[in-house]
Amino acid sequence: MSMFFNNKRIVITGGDGFLGRHLQEKLRSRGIHPSQVLIPLIKDYDLTKEADVVRMYETMRPDIVIHLAAQVGGIGANRENPGRFFYANMAMGLHLIEQARIRNLQKFVQVGTICAYPKFTPVPFKEEDLWNGYPEETNAPYGIAKKSLLVMLQGYRQQYGLNGIYLLPVNLYGPGDNFSPASSHVIPALIKKCADAVDRGDDAIECWGTGRASREFIYAADAAEGILLAAEQYNGAEPVNIGAGFEITIKQLAEKIARLTGFKGRICWDASKPDGQPRRCLDTSRAEEYFGFKAKTDFDAGLKATIDWYRENLL
């Protein structure tokens, strides 16, 4: 077990969110005392404002910052909030990285987004293809804002010696996910549709798009482990994918979730709604080579755990 986090003050922005809670659990399993892990809550710090970021650094005095906080959602939320998503994600990263430089932070870990990749990236996505085209239009403002932080970290490394790394996790899922119809991603949205339909006795559900688009998903606890391994072992300028290395169409996913929830009705596709990026699947060889990360959770087992959590906590 790495000793990297021992006696360090670790700030996790977005640490009270879905992925953040899994990161906290992984740190506890490494023997890190909760007093070392500091979470700037939204009610106390608006990280889009420079003054609040300065106050956060002065109050929490971190050695390491893991920047998870983001304003994000599914296709619908991205279409409705392109300006807000660009500004908020750009501003948070800009202020956090600049203050890391000023304070000579030991390490800054930027968690980026798969939405940064070009719309028609060859599958599987390799990190060297990140700049070979424009992102899928519905999530481009969000993706470009997050991708610009990679350039900022590389520039700050070159000019100021800031040790900032950049990670590209694929779509997350797992217990504790966001199931809000207004902002959830595809797995929690489908689980909610199917489980609610079973509960109500409905004989059909409606899904966006054609079902032909493909996605890759990683269990949130696995993603958290990948992020911590990178923080412990990786100190390079190159971006690194964090994924599970498989691809499934949305139609196949909906059918799988229907089966696992016991929904036996019809799945109706609304082709007037967008599919988003046509395909997503990552090449994960760099993460395995650089810091020994490989996702472990079986997809069906992870889906079952997520469905069980939803039924026990939200249904």
pLDDT at 1: 54
Rounded Cα distance between 247 and 110, Å, is 25
User: 283-293, pLDDT tens digit by residue?
Assistant: 999 999 999 99
Contacts of 74 (CB under 8 A, 6+ apart): 183, 184, 185, 186, 189
Catalytic residues: 142
How many independent structural domains does the chain possess? 1
Environment class of residue 314 by beta-carbon count within 10 Å: exposed (0-12), middle (13-18) or buried (19+)?
middle
**Low-confidence residues of the chain: pLDDT under 70:** 1-2, 315
Residue 152 lies in a domain: yes
Q: Tell me the three state secondary structure of residue 202.
A: coil
Structure tokens at 213: 């688009």
- Does 198 reside within a domain? no
| Structural domain containing residue 170 | 10-176+218-246+280-297
Is residue 190 situated within a structural domain? no
Question: Is residue 43 domain-resident?
Answer: yes
pLDDT value for 242: 97
pTM for the whole thing? Answer: 0.91
CATH number at residue 58: 3.40.50.720
Residue-level pLDDT at 277:
75
Q: What share of the chain is helix, strand, coil (3-state, %, to 5)?
A: 45, 15, 40
